[in-house]
Chain A
Amino acid sequence: MMNYVAISVILAAAVSDTIARGGLRDQVSAAKRVLISFVEWFGELGIFCARLARAAVVPPYEFGELVRQCDSIGSKSFPLVALAGAATGVVFSLQTRDSLVRFGAKSLLPAVIIFSIAKESGPVITALIVSGRVGAGIGAELGSMKVTEQIDAMEASAVDPYKYLLATRVLACILMLPLLTLASEFCGIVMGWVAHTLAEPISLRLFLTNGFKDVMFSDFIPPTLKTTVFGLIIGTVACFQGVRTTGGTEGVGRSATSSVVLSSLFVILADVVLVRLILLVWG
Chain B
Amino acid sequence: MGKKNDNLPIVVNDLHKAFGDQSVLNGIDLRVAPGETLAVLGRSGTGKSVLLKLIIRLQAPDSGTIRVAGQELANLNEEQLNQVRKKVGFLFQQAALYDSLTVEENVAFPLSRHTRMSGAEQKERVRELLADVGMDRELGKMPAEISGGMQKRVGLARALALEPEILLFDEPTSGLDPITAGEVGELIVALKQRRKMSAIVVTHDVQQAQVFSDRLVLLHEGKILAEGTFVELQESQNEVVAQFMGHGS
A→B interface (CB under 8 Å): 144-145, 148-150, 152-160
B109-150, CB under 8 A of A: which get 1 and which 0? 110011000000000000000000000000000000000000
* Given known A-B contacts A148-B94, A149-B92, A149-B94, A156 and B99 have beta carbons under 8 A apart: no
Additional A-B contact list (15), CB under 8 Å, known A150-B96, A153-B96, A157-B162: A145-B98, A148-B99, A149-B93, A149-B94, A150-B99, A152-B92, A153-B92, A153-B97, A155-B85, A156-B88, A156-B90, A158-B83, A158-B85, A159-B110, A160-B82
Does B179 reach chain A (CB closer than 8 Å)? no
* Given known A-B contacts A152-B53, A152-B58, A158 and B86 have beta carbons under 8 A apart: yes
Contact of A148 among B53, B86, B96, B113 (CB under 8 A): B96
| A149 to B98 CA separation, bound complex (whole angstroms) | 9
Please give me the residue from chain B that is nearest to A154 by CB atom: B98
Contact of A152 among B88, B96, B109 (CB under 8 A): B96
Please give me the residue from chain B that is nearest to A151 by CB atom: B96
Enumerate chain B residues within 8 angstroms of A148, measured Cβ to Cβ.
Answer: 94, 96, 99
Contact indicator B85/A157 (Cβ below 8 Å): yes
Enumerate chain A residues within 8 angstroms of B86, measured Cβ to Cβ.
Answer: 158
Enumerate chain B residues within 8 angstroms of A156, measured Cβ to Cβ.
Answer: 56, 58, 85, 88, 90
Does B21 reach chain A (CB closer than 8 Å)? no
Contact indicator B114/A149 (Cβ below 8 Å): no
Please give me the residue from chain A that is nearest to B113 by CB atom: A159
Enumerate chain A residues within 8 angstroms of B239, measured Cβ to Cβ.
Answer: none
Q: How many residues of B contact A (CB 8 A)?
A: 23
* Given known A-B contacts A158-B82, A159-B113, A153 and B90 have beta carbons under 8 A apart: yes
Within 8 A of A (CB), among B42-72: 53, 56, 58
A and B contact pairs by CB, cutoff 8 A, 11 listed: A150-B97, A152-B58, A153-B98, A154-B98, A157-B85, A157-B90, A157-B109, A157-B114, A157-B158, A160-B78, A160-B82
Shortest CB distance B162–A (Å): 8
| A128 to B82 CA separation, bound complex (whole angstroms) | 38
Enumerate chain B residues within 8 angstroms of A160, measured Cβ to Cβ.
Answer: 78, 82
Enumerate chain B residues within 8 angstroms of A157, measured Cβ to Cβ.
Answer: 85, 90, 109-110, 113-114, 158, 162
Shortest CB distance B148–A (Å): 13
In the complex, which of the residues A145, A148, A157 has the most CB atoms of chain B within 10 Å of its own CB atom?
Answer: A157
Enumerate chain B residues within 8 angstroms of A145, measured Cβ to Cβ.
Answer: 98-99
Enumerate chain B residues within 8 angstroms of A150, measured Cβ to Cβ.
Answer: 96-99
Shortest CB distance A123–B (Å): 31
In the complex, which of the residues B56, B96, B162 has the most CB atoms of chain A within 10 Å of its own CB atom?
Answer: B96
Enumerate chain A residues within 8 angstroms of B162, measured Cβ to Cβ.
Answer: 157
Enumerate chain A residues within 8 angstroms of B110, measured Cβ to Cβ.
Answer: 157-159
| A90 to B140 CA separation, bound complex (whole angstroms) | 47
Contact indicator A158/B96 (Cβ below 8 Å): no
| A98 to B92 CA separation, bound complex (whole angstroms) | 64
In the complex, which of the residues A149, A155, A156 has the most CB atoms of chain B within 10 Å of its own CB atom?
Answer: A156
Ranked nearest first, the 3 interchain pairs of A and B with the lowest CB-CB distance are A158-B82, A153-B96, A158-B85
